[in-house]
Structure 1
């Protein structure tokens, strides 16, 4: 009984310490998951904690369970609408990107350190995929807002690239241990089998979980447990029949999260706690598993691999994969820099250890050090890189709090809290009149909280900075009002007028009118088109807010986008 209490006490202290240190990570701009990792290392045998933990099998089990929950949570939060701008690029990066990164890092390790080419490729495969936990966490808590194409590409890529990385690592371990039984046709067949079974299993599992959740009338907490347990059943079942469980559980989350017959927001709050527990526990355990003194012995090798991955292999994969899609070079550069590594490479490095591969512990230490470098170098610099490469957009004023009240076939009703930021356009305006501008009879301001005291909207004549306005309505129909509440930077590149220009026109305005008014050069065909269509044709890809098209001396800036149509365009003299 004493051992059990000691274990519970140690686990509780470690988790509590990590959570309390989270404010430090926010002030320093470090990924929160890095704090859990460092606390685990300090508690290990080389740290003041002195805990001797060397159970790779337990770490492997916990890591797989945690990754499954993290991917499930990521899928639940991904809307199908984001696929219109990011599915193709994310799929390319999750396939071609992983292959090329593996080959380049493997070739570098083979030539630079004289290792067997199979071990070099194995090392490349371990670090080839970005980490869903690190990417989701960093993007959610970032101080800058990225444009939709960049953000969605990073999120979907991190959810899709794990299955191929797992396949490569398992295949290469088999190639080293049993070279005669591992053939190229067999590997190709196995890859096809994993993706087909994983995709079908995820779609079927998502449909079943969605149907059960709709008909069982469970409370939010139980519905979250239904999703988690159903996801783990599909994850393990698909793995058992030779498919990719990671792909299956991510797709299950996608299908369930986009199910249109039940409010999901309360369930997402419950899943958020489960996902954080999974992430924190996994990173603590992985921190305990490593021996810092061993890392220092291979630090030079790890640094060389890490910086080759960050500065050469990842950019090569991104630019060769996304250039054919006419991605702007700034966006490709940012996606290259934001290829965060985290728990996935470390867990993949446990595969060779549990398989009994020679020098597998050396590979584990190198991969762990590479992950540390990625989190320390790339994580804190994300806001700086976003601004420097101009992939950040002005805040769009998303609700600070939202709770889904009802979900139907065509629309959703939510209760949302809108925080009025500094210099917001809503300051000085009447809250009721602003909602009336939405032209939605189902939308209304229901409460205004000012200085810690609630007021009925009719008692408030003019909105002030710092007010919290509670609104009920369909978020899709109110989204164009959200920017009114966002903090506006008074100066700089992200200032409203500096970013979008001082004038704005509707996307359905005739191109000919703009050509006559400003004397900009449009072709005869473009003169007969709506300006939004001119924008789409010239940009050559699905537009997102912040996209720019130069037409003569005028720069057209996508200010609002509905679906694949630019509904409002900023005009900026350039």
Structure 2
């Protein structure tokens, strides 16, 4: 308990100095361990069990907080990274391990599989609590990837541990491995969905006390994890899928469940990293520290970026966004957990796998964890906020009510305070002013610090946020991000080309509106802060409506500089346009 308390207080230190918090948890475990304060913990089986339960809690909360919209728009690129990307990373890292550690090829690929997946705890923590406001598709791609790539890494690690232990050749076990993979993923998806449906139905039909509801949901989620794992499926994938399904359904006490899950996730992260830190023996590190650090640098700067680029080539992420996804590939507790399996499997180099992985994780957390926000700023990916500060509270309604109850505090300079009307689909019911409650129709004009309670249809809360938000201070960098002036997205592209130079667009594109052109170039529904480069100008989405249609477009005459002078991280669409622009320039 003392270590947990110290770890909790270390968050204040991390916030002050910008240190990667999960690395601090790991270091606290190291300092308290056998080579530090002397706590002798060497129970690998117990550590693996505790770590697996903690990871299941983290993954359920990760899924619970992921909206279906975010999942849909990021599912294909994220799942490509979670499968093909993990395999490519394992192969590339294994090739480097073959030469730096002198392992056999099978042993090298086993080590590559152990470190191939990104860590959900590290990625979710940095993106959700690190103050990094980036485009939703990029954030969702990273979150969904980190939540779904563990099954692939676990499958590869378990399979290779068995093959290395038995001395069997890899090619002779190919068909068996493929069937095992299909079984694990298939059962994980199916039982995760069934488990999510059961959790929702139980919470809707069983009259559970409000205080017990969060415990009930978590216990059911862990039951889904345990049962799926017991029958040979991927329990980690199942609990993540169950979290997504449950989190996107209306259930009682959802606000309480969210708060409870947040606290349990923090506790799970602390316990998991502390236990894994206690399990390590730093006095064994010096003999392999140089090749391990070399492998970590290879993973961060070569293996992960190359695997990500190859996987994201067909998708519409920009060069800078792909580069950022490549950088946010933090390794963490999952890799250390998997490194316990060679020890449990009695492999000859079992402890060497663990020590090497531990050093790789520490280097990854130190380099990438410390630099995620600066890299996002350097790449120009941190987007200005859409609205100012807002004071909002979601109030739980009992049962399966078809409305949401929101409470807003009227803040200074908010549109509603300046006389903006509340839309008809929102039903204000109560105003609390100076400690006195009154019906909305008798409250008169709203005043600063009033608390207004409104019933709305589910999913419309973000449309009300703008009314109750404070005036947004325009940062001097906002114009740089969104361009110096705006243009009407309904104007024709022919006008755009005549204003900024011929040869920018094809004949087909000239017949489109600017909004239609941007949607076509983006390959789908546009999002706030999306950018489209056309010749020497850049069009930027400044505002969309509730249907996702472009309402305002900014224009910049200073094209965004490439993330690198080398043609890395370009997607196929950008490569095609670059070749076409080059061909047009040659013809002129």
**TM-score, normalized by the shorter chain, greater than 0.5:** yes
Deviation digits for residues 491-535 of structure 1, max 9, x if unmatched? 23xx2x33223555675x353796599678776765665543221
Q: Which runs of 5+ in 1 are unaligned?
A: 1-11, 421-426
Count residues with an aligned counterpart. 546
State the TM-score, normalized to the length of structure 2: 0.84
Q: Which runs of 5+ in 2 are unaligned?
A: 558-588
Partner Cα separation in structure 2 for residue 514 and residue 454 of structure 1: 58
- Checking the alignment, whether the CA contact within 8 Å between 2:494 and 2:511 is kept in structure 1 is no
Partner Cα separation in structure 2 for residue 282 and residue 517 of structure 1: 61
Task: Provide the residue aligned with 1:164 in structure 2.
Answer: 152
Task: Provide the residue aligned with 1:362 in structure 2.
Answer: 352
SS at match of 1:568: strand
Task: Provide the residue aligned with 1:26 in structure 2.
Answer: 15
- Checking the alignment, whether the CA contact within 8 Å between 2:82 and 2:145 is kept in structure 1 is yes
Partner Cα separation in structure 1 for residue 530 and residue 381 of structure 2: 9
Give the drift of 1:143.
2.4
- Checking the alignment, whether the CA contact within 8 Å between 2:254 and 2:396 is kept in structure 1 is no
Give the drift of 1:405.
3.3
Task: Provide the residue aligned with 2:24 in structure 1.
Answer: 35
What does 1:44-443 align with in structure 2 at a 5 Å threshold? 44-47=33-36, 49-180=37-168, 183-262=173-252, 264-397=254-387, 402-406=393-397, 413-415=404-406, 428-429=413-414, 431-433=416-418, 436=421, 440-442=425-427
What does 1:498-509 align with in structure 2 at a 5 Å threshold? 498-501=480-483, 503-504=485-486, 509=490
- Checking the alignment, whether the CA contact within 8 Å between 1:264 and 1:404 is kept in structure 2 is no
- Checking the alignment, whether the CA contact within 8 Å between 1:430 and 1:461 is kept in structure 2 is no
Give the drift of 1:83.
2.2
- Checking the alignment, whether the CA contact within 8 Å between 1:431 and 1:445 is kept in structure 2 is no
| CA shift in 2, pair 1:488/1:368, >3 Å | farther
Give the drift of 1:407.
9.2
| RMSD (Å), alpha carbons | 3.2
Partner Cα separation in structure 2 for residue 476 and residue 388 of structure 1: 34
Mean Cα displacement is larger for which, 146-155 or 109-118?
Answer: 109-118
| CA shift in 2, pair 1:237/1:477, >3 Å | closer
Task: Provide the residue aligned with 1:546 in structure 2.
Answer: 529
| CA shift in 2, pair 1:162/1:524, >3 Å | same
Give the drift of 1:551.
4.7
What does 1:382-531 align with in structure 2 at a 5 Å threshold? 382-397=372-387, 402-406=393-397, 413-415=404-406, 428-429=413-414, 431-433=416-418, 436=421, 440-442=425-427, 446=431, 472=454, 474=456, 476-480=459-463, 482=465, 485=470, 488=473, 490-492=475-477, 495=478, 497-501=479-483, 503-504=485-486, 509-511=490-492, 515=496, 529=512, 531=514
- Checking the alignment, whether the CA contact within 8 Å between 2:413 and 2:470 is kept in structure 1 is no
- Checking the alignment, whether the CA contact within 8 Å between 2:410 and 2:447 is kept in structure 1 is no
Give the drift of 1:432.
3.8
Give the drift of 1:455.
11
State the TM-score, normalized to the length of structure 1: 0.86
- Checking the alignment, whether the CA contact within 8 Å between 1:511 and 1:534 is kept in structure 2 is no
Give the drift of 1:115.
1.2
| CA shift in 2, pair 1:66/1:257, >3 Å | same
Mean Cα displacement is larger for which, 402-411 or 556-565?
Answer: 402-411
Pick from 516, 520, 523 the counterpart of residue 537 of structure 1: 520
Task: Provide the residue aligned with 1:5 in structure 2.
Answer: none
SS at match of 1:60: helix
Mean Cα displacement is larger for which, 184-193 or 225-234?
Answer: 225-234
Mean Cα displacement is larger for which, 129-138 or 396-405?
Answer: 396-405
SS at match of 2:211: helix
